[in-house]
Structure 1
Amino acid sequence: MVGSSLLLGAVTLAAQSASALRIPARSVPLSRRNLAFSSDKGFKSRPVSNAATSTDDDDGSTSFLTNSGNNIYLANITLGGAAFTVQLDTGSTDLVLMPDKHIETTAVILDHQPNSTYGTGYMAGPVAFAKLEFGNYSVDSQAFLNGTSESFFDQAFFPHGIRGIMGVSLDSALSFVHEAMDEVYGDKHGRALSRSVLGNVFLQNPELDNFTSVYLGRTGDGEATDEGIFTIGEYVDGAENYMKDIKPVNVFKPTSWAVPLDAVTVNGKKVALNSTVKGAPSGKAIANLDTGTSLAMVPKFVLDAMYSAFDGAWYSDVLGSWIVPCLSGAPNITYTFGGQDFYIHPLDLTIVTDLSPAYNYTVCTPAFDVLSFGTDGMDMLLGDSFLRNSYTAFDYGSFSEDDDMLKSPSVKMLPLSSADEDYPEFLTYRAKNLASLPKEATKAEVQKILAEEGGAPAGAGEDDAASDNASEDANLLSASSAAASSSDDSSYQDLVDKLNTFGPVVIGLLGAIFVTLLGLLAVGVTICIRRGRSVGAARNVAPSYAPVPVRFKETEYRDEEHTRYNE
């Protein structure tokens, strides 16, 4: 009997594991669109073909990538004359990859080989140097971790042609390459040798403004596909006038893209924030903005406030997860940064899981999870399920030659979603998706599956509206979804529309491949081993938000780790 293990596997992958990848059940074909973007700094893009590996007319400025599930965003690089596809990650700094083809290296440091450790798995090997080409930029000698051993990457990344991760965080963030070079050459020379890709790009191109911008595309619950945008030193056409008027939010410490979060509001009611991070502003939380994480992870009281507000939601102690309606009753949830409200598109709130063939049912669970690591440096890890609702610019700041901070790193965020437009879109896309799936399971049907597998007896031990640990405020937040007013500025809406209709186009250097992550089968097998049962595999229905590797270690702020982007 496989039902409980199967359901638990689905929930575990979607809502509890922070680092498991799934293999895609099928790819989503891309339609060609007559859209293009050009830049006086050399960025170009054009409609992509359906073939992810197409090379026709490839000028090195575009990436041909498939969108099949909103999970991971990739960039193409050339390292030592060999082309690779890597994940673009604002949550880490190092370039880490295990090559499957020859790289012409300029040096290899065999001593002090670092081990880059993630939430699940690792990659280890010597630090090597090679010429890097990234879009229209090149670095003659870029440091990278040349992987010779790993775990997890061979299951999750390699089968899909993804050879590693390119960090685009601050050079002052945690860097295993930097630590290794410090041990060999000392701090000053080690830091100069181990600059990140962007650290070198900014150093070698002083005319560039010191920022990048990121837009993460979204699938329409299995409908239209949309790629991503990554720019260096410029904004997407049409965004400049809006971004210049947005007040930057300084990072909490110059070691990550963690910034103060002003508020979380559910159906018009604020959730009281109480940061556990030392020195955090009163009444705010510290949120790390991380493109390398598919889910968003928040404190449990925030999660309970969000998902208890779904009409008909209930919490399963057996599964350790909320079960929410797939279509009806999605609440109005906003996060506030720098005084601006960011409405979270309902497609980014839930995961649709098809339990067949074991059971002919569909269930929906949260696309947010409880943060269970790194809580000394952040309260929340806001990954792709949040970041799709913002066009975000990351300013890398500047530092003197003596490492004194002259300008703090900061972010600017432009809201992209609104309840007035996106809630009806959610209803349309989700209804069409559900029409092709088995019926949505009722609470009694889920409890019956759990009871058959030795879980809680049917009808017992499960709360109807909220978990036992949900706060009283959370229980009061289950009113019907409130509509947020959208801007009356037609030109602003034109910009939002432009961003939302870019795909399938790659702008700047970023493509989004929403590659599925390792498979409910693998998670189910793990659960099976623990419980002595055999399992089958459920499938998540696009868009499926399964998390990708996340670093456990959170570096402490040290003045000597400041990097120089302006020299």
Structure 2
Amino acid sequence: MLPLIFLASLLALPADTFGAPTDVVPVSGQAISLLRRNQYPRDVTEWGTFAKSQRDNLIAKYGGPVKQKRSTGYNSIIDQQYDSSYYGSLAIGTPAVSFDVKLDTGSSDFWLAGPSCGTSCGSVSIYNPSSSSTFQNLSTSFSIVYGSGSAEGYVAQDTVQMAGFSVSSQGFAVVDAVSQGLLASPVSGFLGLAWQSLASSGQMPLWQTLASNNVWDSALFAVRLTRYKNDSTAQDLEPGGVLNMGYTNSSLYTGSIDYIDITGTPSYWYIPLTSLTVQGNSISIDSGTTAAIDTGTTNIGGPASSVQAIYAQIPNSQPATGEWEGYYSFPCSTTVNVEVSFGGATWSISPVDFAFTQTNSTECIGAFFETSTGTGSPSWIFGDTFLKNVYSVFRYNPPSVGFANLSSVAVAENGAGGAVPSATIGTISAAVTNTSDAPRRHALSALSTLLFLAFSAVLFL
């Protein structure tokens, strides 16, 4: 009976008995300058196509329940396509090579265009696994669908650097094929900033690897996005703000940060939406309504009945048609004031941001549009239209989202222009090995060997 006792003892051992150690170097934090890329002016047809793509994207992104498919530092952000999206930079491999990636708090996968991507990836920079001595192919297929397209490839690991932090064996995906137009140069991929439960790859997101390994002074990251849409002299590329990692930059906000705990198990960054007023009039919000805070979405999507009620407060507004279905037009001469609350403080959305675009000399399209989401998903999605008006903080523990009023320093960055940050490799101030998946794999491998020995002993008794 000794082999059976031995087997029982093995099964009682914790999984991390067979795991690899974690190399952690506590530091403070870093920041990343964010960039934006302007393509203005667009004609009305192009804006309509973009609007339809955005609406379809939200339906695909939030259209169903959560599933498994989909020190301090800073990073400079670029604003792409005239306040339409924002991206930053990171470096990957040994030796390290820099890439620009779209920053998306509404998804969780990190992926880059690979050497087999071909013409569908256009002229973007390509990640070459054969050039990195630390690359490891995990031989697992990868597929993700966005409303604006899809990407397919395989899951791998490599050393990733961002904002002064280095993570060994970070999981990501090498993409072999993407839908036409999903990537626009110079962006080579996506960096998901939501939680691991959403990751199609099953890999822990880079931010979560850093936060869970205690390498940040504070287990959080924060975002400040700039506004150029009302600047007629804006260039194709403009400074887009900053991503702070491991700390909050007190020069960019005033007062305190109002934190709201996220709803349910961490997946999306969604929080309760408790009030919404337009032109001083309250819009009815159902009890238990949630809103996802999504840097990867340009505008704000919500239930049809609520969006209709919003535009009912704006004289001479009307539903748009064709590519604009789900959106509403209103007189550009009307100043629209919107305020929202997520259970704490009340936040204003600038009338400049409420006016998404102009279709003719007198008519504008509003930034709020109708969308539908699936059971278990947030009914509202608040994108950059809202986020440009606040300093936003995404906290690891307790899982929560915080907002604060912008300081005069932050406001002065809107339309200020200046040198556009480039994708560069900075000095590493902290390093960690990603073992989020390693303990399970190592434990299973070691346990399988020991089980084999135990059962072999039983057979020969």
Query: TM-score per shorter chain, which class?
Result: 0.5 to 0.7
Q: Which one of the candidate residues 176, 180, 183 is aligned to 2:200?
A: 176
Which residue is 1:381 aligned to? Answer: 381
Provide the C-alpha distance between the structure 2 equivalents of 1:338 and 1:265, rounded to a whole number of angstroms: 14
| Partners of 1:410 and 1:118 in 2: CA distance | 25
Match of residue 344 from structure 1: 349
For the pair 1:157 / 2:166, whether they are aligned, the reply is no
**Match of residue 76, structure 1, among 89, 103, 106:** 89
In 2, the alpha carbon distance for the partners of 1:324 and 1:96 equals 39
Partner of 1:202: 211
Matched, 1:116 2:136: no
User: Residue 340 of structure 2 aligns with which residue?
Assistant: 335
Residue 104 of structure 2: which of 89, 95, 106 is its match?
A: 89
Rounded Cα–Cα distance in structure 2 between residues aligned with 1:123 and 1:156: 8
CA contact (8 A) 1:252 1:286 kept: no
Shift of 1:506: 9.3
> 2:328 matched to which residue of 1?
322
- Give the whole-Å Cα distance in 1 for the aligned partners of 2:81 and 2:150: 25
User: SS at the partner of 2:108?
Assistant: coil
Q: CA deviation at 1:197?
A: 0.6
Residue in 2 that maps onto 1:131 = 159
**Structure-2 separation of matches of 1:15 and 1:75:** 25
The 3 A distance-change label for structure 1 pair 157 and 77 is same
- Residue 118 of structure 1 aligns with an amino acid whose one-letter code is Y
Alpha-carbon offset, residue 202 of structure 1 = 2.5
Partner of 1:409: 399
**1:517-536 counterparts in 2 under 5 A?**
none
Distance change >3 Å, CA 376–CA 414, structure 1 → 2 = same
Q: Deviations over 1:376-430 (max 9, x none)?
A: 3111111111221221111112xxxxxxxxxx401111144xxxxxxxxxxxxxx
**In structure 1, what is the equivalent of residue 292 of structure 2?**
288
The one-letter amino acid of 1:127's match is V
Describe the superposition over 1:463-505 as per-residue Cα deviations: whole angstroms up to 9, x where unpaired: xxxxxxxxxxxxxxxxxxxxxxxxxxxxxxxx2x111123547
Deviations 1:495-533 (A, max 9, x none): 2x111123547999999xxxxxxxxxxxxxxxxxxxxxx
Please tell me whether the aligned partners of residues 67 and 226 of structure 1 are also in contact (alpha carbons under 8 angstroms). no
Residue equivalent to 1:499: 410
What's the secondary structure of 2:210's corresponding residue? helix
> Which residue of the partner structure matches residue 243 of structure 1?
256
Judging by fraction of residues, say which structure has more strand.
2
Q: More relative contact order in 1 or in 2 (CA 8 Å, sep 6+)?
A: 1
User: Does the aligned pair in 2 maintain the 1:297–1:382 contact within 8 Å?
Assistant: yes
1:212-259 superposed Cα distances (whole Å, 9 cap, x missing partner): 111111115134665222111211133687335x34433343222010
Q: How has the CA–CA distance of structure 1 residues 76 and 247 changed in structure 2, closer, same or farther, with 3 Å as cutoff?
A: closer
Given that 1:266 and 1:306 are in contact with CA atoms closer than 8 Å, whether structure 2 keeps it comes out as yes
Q: 1:509 to 1:82 in 2, by over 3 A?
A: closer
Aligned to 1:371: 371
> Contact 2:138/2:157 (CA < 8 Å) preserved in 1?
no
- C-alpha deviation, 1:87, in angstroms: 0.5
Unmatched 5+ residue regions in structure 1? 1-5, 21-40, 45-60, 179-193, 275-282, 356-360, 398-407, 417-494, 512-560, 562-567
Equivalence for 1:233: 246
For 2:55, the equivalent position in structure 1 comes to 18
AA in 1 matched with 2:150: Y
1:311 Cα deviation after fit: 3.0
> Residues of 1 paired with 2:166 and 2:304: CA distance?
44
SS at match of 2:178: strand
- Specify the code of the residue in structure 1 equivalent to 2:365: T
Residues 254 and 329 of structure 1: is their aligned pair in 2 closer, same or farther, counting only changes over 3 Å?
A: same
Q: Which amino acid aligns with 2:145?
A: T
Q: How far 1:261 sits from its partner (Å)?
A: 0.7
How far did residue 132 of structure 1 move? Answer: 0.7
| SS of 2:140 mapped into structure 1 | coil
SS of equivalent to 2:308: helix
Q: Provide the C-alpha distance between the structure 2 equivalents of 1:19 and 1:504, rounded to a whole number of angstroms.
A: 32
Q: How does 1:528-567 map to 2 (within 5 A)?
A: none
> In structure 2, what is the equivalent of residue 166 of structure 1?
191
Relative to the length of structure 1, the TM-score reads 0.56
Displacement of 1:209 in angstroms is: 1.1
Q: Does residue 1:254 correspond to 2:165, yes or no?
A: no
Which AA in structure 2 matches 1:232? M
| 8 Å Cα contact 2:274/2:289 also seen in 1 | yes
Deviation at 1:129?
Answer: 1.1
The aligned amino acid for 1:72 is: S
> CA 1:19/1:415 → structure 2, altered by over 3 Å: closer, same or farther?
farther
Identity of aligned residues (%): 23
Q: Name the CA shift for 1:67/1:177 in 2 (closer, same or farther; >3 Å).
A: closer
Tell me, yes or no, if the aligned pair for 2:290 and 2:380 is still in contact at 8 Å: yes
Deviation of 1:71 after TM superposition, in Å, equals 1.0
Residues 379/8 of structure 1: CA separation in 2 closer, same or farther (3 Å cut): same
Structure 2 distance, partners of 1:195, 1:330, is 44
Q: Give the whole-Å Cα distance in 2 for the aligned partners of 1:233 and 1:510.
A: 20
Distance 2:149 2:259 in 1: 38
Report if aligned partners of 2:252, 2:391 keep a CA contact under 8 Å in 1: no
Find the aligned partners of 2:175 and 2:264 in 1 and give their Cα distance.
Answer: 32
> In 1, distance between residues paired with 2:283 and 2:212?
43
Measure how far apart 1:91 and its partner are.
0.9
Letter in 1 for 2:55: A
Shift of 1:367: 1.6
State the one-letter code of the partner of 1:374.
G
Q: How many residues matched?
A: 348
Write the letter of the residue equivalent to 1:324.
F
Superposition deviation, residue 10 in structure 1 = 4.5
In the TM superposition, residue 273 of structure 1 has moved relative to its aligned partner by 1.2
Q: Aligned-pair RMSD on alpha carbons?
A: 3.2
Does 1:219 find its partner at 2:243?
no
Comparing 206-215 and 379-388, the one that deviates more: 206-215
Q: Quick one: distance in 2 between partners of 1:374 and 1:164?
A: 26
CA distance in structure 1 between the partners assigned to 2:225 and 2:264 by the alignment: 23
CA distance in 1, matches of 2:49, 2:150: 21
Kept in 2, the 8 Å contact 1:202–1:208? The answer is no
In structure 1, what is the Cα distance between the partners aligned to 2:102 and 2:89? Answer: 9
